[in-house]
Structure 1
Amino acid sequence: MSGTTRITQLATVGIHVADQEKAVEFYVRELGFEVRRDAPFGNGRWIEVAPPGAATTIALVPEGAPAGIRLTTRDAGADHADLRARGVDADAEVMRMGPAVPPMFGVRDPDGNHLILIEDSVEGS
């Protein structure tokens, strides 16, 4: 690797679900997971579940919202600039949606898989 990374962990894997309530019921009741986050998001909700004690969560993402792998970083702006300078297929800008939402941006790997880097200043709170 030609640069240093500020990526700290695999935080969340987002999967599409047709019905968030049914998905929560399955993961909590059938698999014994716990709800880690349930917050307003756009016109819907952002819901994350995980096994008790697990560091990585599963985001139950409604259809139409971006799913994918979310990685935390100590500095989204610096990572964005570094990756773009190295020619990585990254979003044109870092998304900044207000104080309750951490800065984030997307990158695509050579196979087109979507990764989202989220600044960990708010992630996990």
Structure 2
Amino acid sequence: MTMTTRVISVSVPVADQDAAIAFYVQTLGCELRTDVEIWPGARLVEVVPPGSSVALVLLPPDSEIPVAVRLGTTDARAAYDRLREADAVLYNDDVLHLEGAPPMFHFADPDGNGLVYLQEPDGARG
């Protein structure tokens, strides 16, 4: 099984999401890909540099959305089980199934860096 298919996005902590959008879009020339409230109080903002498939997720420091590198995987359940068996630090009790989102879970590498696996639909790997 190929656990990791690609880097989807990388979080960048920002003090003010609107100011960050202005900087990344107007100054750096990124495209605003996503700006949605995924649950009350949790705003997900993604910008993408020209020609890149990897997004930057602009998150305030108090966000419930984890600051992490988001990785694609072919099978979130199998990846979760494999990491659990390897005694990795898992921040979710199980794979999350949120409405409108792919199966996912949050974990850490051995140095404590935040990572999230998102299950990719067939054919979506890039």
2:73 is aligned to 73
1:118 is aligned to 118
Following TM superposition, by how much is the alpha carbon of 1:5 offset from its aligned partner in structure 2, in angstroms?
Answer: 2.9
1:22 is aligned to 19
**Residue pair 1:5, 1:79 contacting (<8 A) in 2 also:** no
* Distance in 2 separating the partners of 1:64 and 1:115: 17
* Distance in 1 separating the partners of 2:53 and 2:45: 15
Number of residue-to-residue matches in the alignment: 119
Which stretches of structure 1, 4 residues or longer, exceed 3 Å deviation after superposition? none
* Distance in 2 separating the partners of 1:107 and 1:7: 14
Aligned CA distance change for structure 1 residues 88 and 44 (closer, same or farther; 3 Å): closer
User: Which stretch of the first structure deviates more once superposed, 39-48 or 108-117?
Assistant: 39-48
Gaps of 5+ in 2: none
The one-character-per-residue Cα deviations of 1:36-60 (angstroms, maximum 9, x if unpaired) are 1122222242110011220111001
Q: Any residues of structure 2 matched to 1:82-121 within 5 Å, and which?
A: 82-91=82-91, 92-98=93-99, 100-121=100-121
The one-character-per-residue Cα deviations of 1:51-98 (angstroms, maximum 9, x if unpaired) are 122011100112222211110112111111122122222233111122
What SS does the corresponding residue of 2:81 show, helix, strand or coil?
Answer: helix
Which amino acid in the other structure matches residue 40 of structure 1? E
What SS does the corresponding residue of 2:62 show, helix, strand or coil?
Answer: coil
Normalising by the residue count of structure 1, what TM-score does the alignment of the two structures yield? 0.85
What SS does the corresponding residue of 1:7 show, helix, strand or coil?
Answer: coil
What SS does the corresponding residue of 2:5 show, helix, strand or coil?
Answer: strand
- State the Cα RMSD in Å: 1.8
Normalising by the residue count of structure 2, what TM-score does the alignment of the two structures yield? 0.85
Gaps of 5+ in 1: none
Name the % identity: 37
* Distance in 1 separating the partners of 2:36 and 2:75: 23
1:63 is aligned to 61
* Distance in 1 separating the partners of 2:34 and 2:113: 25
